[in-house]
Amino acid sequence: MKLVYLVDDNQDVLEELYGQLSMRYDIIATINPNNALRKAINEKLIPSLLVTGLLRNSAMTGSELIGKFHEIDPRIKFVLYSDHPENELREVIGQLRESGADVRYVRLQDIVHPSTPETGLVGVVESITGSR
């Protein structure tokens, strides 16, 4: 199974996303972005995909976390989600992509309450990782 990291500073959101992915992927889920980095560096557990929110209530933002994981291994792919419209995050997403990070933006409501299976988190992850 592919390894996916989930990082969100909201425990309820983290649990919801974990529930969506845990039957299909190996998951490391944490509310602390520094814990995710320590696991990747110290235990050499490098994910195929990192799924993170903006992490506004953490010591490190979601975009900073993506940047650090991209430095660890540029092959990692990323999903950044938020309850903000994409146009509000265009600059942040653009900077990440300019650095070479493979980032997909998804609205939180679309992955928590998907209108179709393809727009849910499993569908997004499958489209990025190529797994079904």
- 72/78 Cα distance (integer angstroms): 13
pLDDT in tens, the chain (132 residues): 899 999 999 999 999 999 999 999 999 999 999 999 999 999 999 999 999 999 988 889 999 999 999 999 999 999 999 988 888 899 999 999 999 999 999 999 988 888 877 778 989 999 998 876
Instruction: Name the one residue in this structure whose structure tokens are 């933006």.
Output: 105
Question: Phi and psi (nearest 5°) for 2?
Answer: -75, 145
- 119/116 Cα distance (integer angstroms): 5
pTM to 2 decimals? 0.92
